[in-house]
Amino acid sequence: MFIHSKIELMRIFFFMILVCFTFTKLQAQSIGYSGMEKISNSKYLVVIDKKNFHDGDRLAIVSVDKEDGCKIRKIDIKDWKHKHGRGNDLESVCAVPETKDEYLLVEAGYWEGEFGRIFHVRLKDEKLKVLKVYHIPSISPGGKKNPTGDNFEGVACLKYNNDLYVVLGERGGTTRFPNGLLRIGILKEGAKKIDWNTYAEDTFEVKLPKSVKTTKMMRTVTDLHLDKDGKLFASAAVDDSDIGPFKSVVYEVGTLEFNKGKLNLVKAPKGKQVYIVDGFKIEAISASPKFMKSSKLCFGTEDETLSGQWRPLFSEN
C-alpha cells in the first residue's frame, strides 16, 4: 500500500511540473500587439503599450514559422537616453528607410507635459540601442501640458532627398477628432529635431470606408502600414469592454507620393481593399511573411484581458 501511494505521489508530482511548464510556456507566447514592423522575411519587432508606472515588457520580437507558429522573445532597452526613463504607452513602430536595422518607436502622446517621445533605435543581434530621442507634435489647444485628444497610434516612414518623413496617425473616435488624422513631420539630414511646422496646415483626415457599419467611438487609426508601392493601410477598432466584444477593420487609405517636392496623400479608389475582422481588437498591421503567398497583410491584436493574437489576412488579389 505504501509503495502504491509513493508511485501515485510521484505521478502527481511530475504531472504538476508538466502543468506548470506548459502554463509558463503558453503564457510566454502571449503578448498584446500595439504596433509591429517586419524586420526580416518572417520576423517582426513589436511594441507593447505599457504605461511608464507599470512594470512589464515593452518590446518583443515575433518569429513566424510554418511548423511552430509564432515564437515570441521579449527584449528590452537598457538605456532609454531620456530623463523620463522607459517607454510610456508605445503604440507604433516603423523602419527607417535606406537602413537595415534602424527603427522609430513612437509613444501615443503626452501625459502631464511629459513623454510624447519618438525613440530612434538600432536593432542588432536582437538587442535594441537608442540612438536619439525626438518628440511628437502636440495638436491640442492646451498644448503638451493639457492635451485633449492627442493619441497617435500609427506611424509610417519614407525618405525623400535624404530627408526622413514621419507620418503619424491620430486615432480618432473622440469628440475633438471623430475621424483619424495624418500629421507629417520632416527630419532633415543632420537635424536634431523633427520639423512639425512645415506640414502643420497640411493634415489629412482619414475616414472609414462607407461600406463599414460602425459606432461613433470606433478608432479610425489604430496602426498604419506603408507597403513597398507607397500604399498606406490603416487598421481601426472598437470595443465594448476590456473583455470585448471587439470589431476591427483593415483598409486601404490611399497612396503617399511626392509631387514637386511635396508629400501628398492620393486617396484610395472606391474599390479599395477592406477587411472586416470581428471578435478581435487590431492595433498592429504589417506585411505578411514571404512564405505566405496568398497573404499580403497580417495583424496583431491587443485584446485587453484576453490574449493577443497574430494572424495573416487572406488576399483575394
**Domain extents for the chain?**
33-312
pLDDT at 12 over 60: no
258 or 6, higher pLDDT: 258
Domain spanning 33-312, CATH class: mainly beta
- Expressed in angstroms, the distance from the first to the final Cα of the chain is 68
**Digit-coded pLDDT (tens) for 198-240:** 999 999 999 999 888 777 679 999 999 999 999 999 999 999 9
Determine the pLDDT at residue 113. 82
For residue 146, give the DSSP letter: S
CA atoms of 220 and 225, how far apart (whole Å): 14
Q: Mean pLDDT, to the nearest integer, of 93-118?
A: 95
Query: 316 exposed, middle or buried (CB, 10 Å; 0-12, 13-18, 19+)?
Result: exposed
Residue 142 banded pLDDT, cuts 50, 70, 90: low
Q: Which of 9-18, 129-138, 234-243 has the lowest mean pLDDT?
A: 9-18
Residue ranges in 78-182 assigned as alpha helix (H):
none
Task: Tell me which amino acid residue 268 is.
Answer: A
Q: Which residues contact 60 (CB under 8 A, 6 or more apart)?
A: 31, 45, 46, 48, 72, 73, 74, 75
Alpha carbons 271 and 39: distance in angstroms, whole number: 30
pLDDT range class, residue 296, cuts 50, 70, 90: very high
The pLDDT, as a whole number, for residue 24 is 37
- C-alpha span between 283 and 278 (Å, rounded): 14
Which residue, 186, 184, 189, 182, is CA-closest to 205?
A: 182
